[in-house]
Amino acid sequence: MDALQELELYKEIVNHQLNIFFKDRLREVQDIDPYASYMMDLLREYTLRGGKRIRAALMYYSYKLFSKQNIDEAIKGSIAFELIQSYLLIHDDIIDQDFLRRGKSTMHKMYEEAHLKSFGEEGSEHFGISMAIVAGDISNHLANLLILNLNMPIERKIKAAAELNRVVHRVLYGEALDVLSQTKKKISESDVMKIHTLKTASYTFEGPLLAGAILAGADKSSLKILSDYAIPLGQAFQLQDDILGVFGDEKKLGKPIGSDLREGKKTLLIIKALHEADKREKKIIMAAMGNPNITTEQIEDVRAVMITTGSLDYSRNLAKKLIRKAKKSLEKLKGDKEARNFLEGIADYMSEREY
Amino acid sequence: MDALQELELYKEIVNHQLNIFFKDRLREVQDIDPYASYMMDLLREYTLRGGKRIRAALMYYSYKLFSKQNIDEAIKGSIAFELIQSYLLIHDDIIDQDFLRRGKSTMHKMYEEAHLKSFGEEGSEHFGISMAIVAGDISNHLANLLILNLNMPIERKIKAAAELNRVVHRVLYGEALDVLSQTKKKISESDVMKIHTLKTASYTFEGPLLAGAILAGADKSSLKILSDYAIPLGQAFQLQDDILGVFGDEKKLGKPIGSDLREGKKTLLIIKALHEADKREKKIIMAAMGNPNITTEQIEDVRAVMITTGSLDYSRNLAKKLIRKAKKSLEKLKGDKEARNFLEGIADYMSEREY
């Protein structure tokens, strides 16, 4: 079985776990207020909507690297970063003013629509934002409680919880720098890579891998190797994300192509293209960037510029180089062979992913 | 020394601790980006602005009830709920669209002003909201990390961290119900008391008291007594807050009188007044509620209605009753006498507080 099949298989396990988890949480909050149940239900739907569950899989396989015991509890714990993902995405969608997430309304849009339906238009936008801030916060506390309440050795749980908070804390500076970068005229390649590292690499790869390994009792040198694998792979993951956002398949992605352009997001693709572009090409890019009414033709023109300037190749090659670096780090990794194969397979899959 | 003097004294200790804490955090984030340091500095200023530090004091005295060891570490830990307070206030101010907090700009206003200064007006409001969402999130992770990294027995730390997340998780439903209550025409007294309990009583009193007692190794029955003291006292605290918000002294409070009226907040004062009011009085209240241009005369008229309808007396008497209930619970409490006296003194102070 290759890593992609394992990922697909584990996705089912994760979704099953999430269903059980939210059923328990729904029972817990029903004494608070019917509206608390309603909120939990929206969070359940949002979290279960899809996604590759790569964070959960990484945490699980990282646990399996170093322990064969208490696997059921490791599976339970592996959804922690999926809850963190919901928390960060909900807040991120408010910040990016996005309306769609995995083909459906973002959290603030869901609450806005609910307000519109029951109480009318006035104040509905702010109501949506308010409730989504709270819903994101709730998901974060649920993730923390999940880790703290696992049936595992407490000295490991406390380290894993600290790692979770440490990593997410860093993600937030990445988020802030990303927001700030929208206001700046000039952004360098190293600025973009810093944001990628903070915002994506840390919590998509490093956080789950370290948390899983810590719960399994891994030693410090193994954690170091996992970080050396996680950071370049996470950077490559984000570069691929940016490429797919312009060149990918809308159906497979579940979000509109070109939304990064529409938002004026300064991806490496854009920065490199602007750097290499002639006057005419610069004009094409600038007309598309941050344009809420961007047309399909404009997106196609930007694509052409990214190809002719060599920007697409540059991002692709950098991603490949980072993936090689990540795989190189794995050579030193000890632990369960099957789990190591999975991590190597994930690195291979990163070079070819389509969604 | 009475409780108020002790509170004043401990406030100095807390502020000193907060200064040390933020100095360390500033050092930690300076490798990330200069903007991370800037953000941390704003959070430091915001957190150090003032406030009674009642949460920190409660956590400290609650620890002292059950342990005489490791007091320095208990003091360090006691700022956790002050960081939680910053987190919740920052998000709450976005939600309530408040501009002032303790006499200065709210967090989202500070970022909005910074944007205005450096990048112009366009997008400054959303920039402020975005950065403040992130800043609040950061403060929450700092609180979690603080507890998890204390030099204390790990089985106590893990319970204290779980308690912190459990309590704050409940606060968020209170926040949501509060937002929801603004959209509803009819709110009952029990709805208001539920919001008070969830939003204020739990994390102002119960959270810090339980976290402190847990860190000191208190038994379950003591935790139960502390909850029985905390919840009614917290409810009374909020009732007093609502009263001071209309009848208090602007200078002592650090926020404009009548802002609850301006926001259309459905406090018990308002609900009771509306319930007992005649036609003319109802009109006075409704003209003031949610009126962004409310005049000093209008606030005075609302005050008069609250007095003549008996609404002010009702809230005051209920607060007194709740304070008596809280004090009654204390009778069963064991532990250090000085600390018990402090808790009793705090209950007495609640009946008379002016800010």
Q: Do B169 and A138 touch (CB under 8 A)?
A: yes
Interchain contact B41–A (C-beta under 8 A) = no
Residue A175 maps to a domain:
yes
Q: Write the residue in B95, B134, B148 that is nearest to A158 by C-beta.
A: B148
Mean pLDDT, chain A, whole residue set:
93
CA-nearest residue of chain A to B199? A32
Residue A291 maps to a domain:
no
| Matching residue, tokens 């975005």 | B130
CA-nearest residue of chain B to A125? B95
- Chain A residues in contact with B149 by the CB 8 A cut-off are 162
The total number of residues shown for chain B amounts to: 355
B354 pLDDT exceeds 70? no
Interchain contact B177–A (C-beta under 8 A) = yes
Q: Give the mean model confidence (pLDDT) for residues A331-335.
A: 93
Determine whether A93 is exposed, middle or buried from the number of CB atoms within 10 Å of its CB (0-12, 13-18, 19+): buried
pLDDT band at residue B80 under the 50/70/90 scheme: very high
CB atoms within 10 A of CB B331: 10
- The domain in which residue A346 lies consists of 3-248+320-352
Interchain contact B113–A (C-beta under 8 A) = no
Q: Report CA-CA distances (Å) from A110 to A135, A222, B281.
A: 11, 43, 38
Give B125-148 pLDDT, tens digit per residue.
999 999 999 999 999 999 999 999
Number of domains within chain A: 1
The answer to ipTM > 0.85 is: yes
B347 pLDDT exceeds 70? yes
Q: What is the pLDDT of residue B207?
A: 96
Residue A306 maps to a domain:
no
CA distance to partner chain A, nearest, from residue B213 (Å): 18
Q: What is the pLDDT of residue A354?
A: 62
Cα Dmax for chain B? 64
User: Is the dihedral angle over the CA atoms A160, A166, A172, A173 positive or is it negative?
Assistant: negative
| Euclidean distance between CA atoms B42 and B107, whole angstroms | 8
B254 pLDDT exceeds 70? no
The domain spanning residue A95 has which CATH number?
A: 1.10.600.10
A240 pLDDT exceeds 80? yes
Query: In percent, how much of chain B has pLDDT > 90?
Result: 82
Residue A308 maps to a domain:
no
B67 pLDDT exceeds 70? yes
Query: In percent, how much of chain A has pLDDT > 70?
Result: 99
Q: Write the residue in B158, B175, B198 that is nearest to A158 by C-beta.
A: B158
Residues 211-270 of B with CB under 8 A from A: none
How many C-alpha atoms does A109 have within 13 Å on its Cβ side? Answer: 15
- Chain B residues in contact with A34 by the CB 8 A cut-off are none
pLDDT band at residue B200 under the 50/70/90 scheme: confident
Q: Write the residue in A33, A154, A170 that is nearest to B154 by C-beta.
A: A154
Give A168-181 pLDDT, tens digit per residue.
999 999 999 999 98
Residue A34 maps to a domain:
yes
Phi, psi of A101, deg, nearest 5: -140, 115
- Chain B residues in contact with A162 by the CB 8 A cut-off are 145, 148-149
Residue A257 maps to a domain:
no
Give B258-309 pLDDT, tens digit per residue.
888 888 888 999 999 999 999 999 999 999 998 889 999 999 999 999 999 9
Nearest to B67 by CA among B215, B209, B226: B215
Interchain contact B26–A (C-beta under 8 A) = no
Residue A285 maps to a domain:
no
Residue A199 maps to a domain:
yes
Query: In percent, how much of chain B has pLDDT > 70?
Result: 98
Query: In percent, how much of chain A has pLDDT > 90?
Result: 82
- Residue from B29, B93, B116, B144 whose CB has the most chain A CBs within 10 Å, to mutate: B144
CB atoms within 10 A of CB A280: 8
Q: What is the pLDDT of residue A355?
A: 59
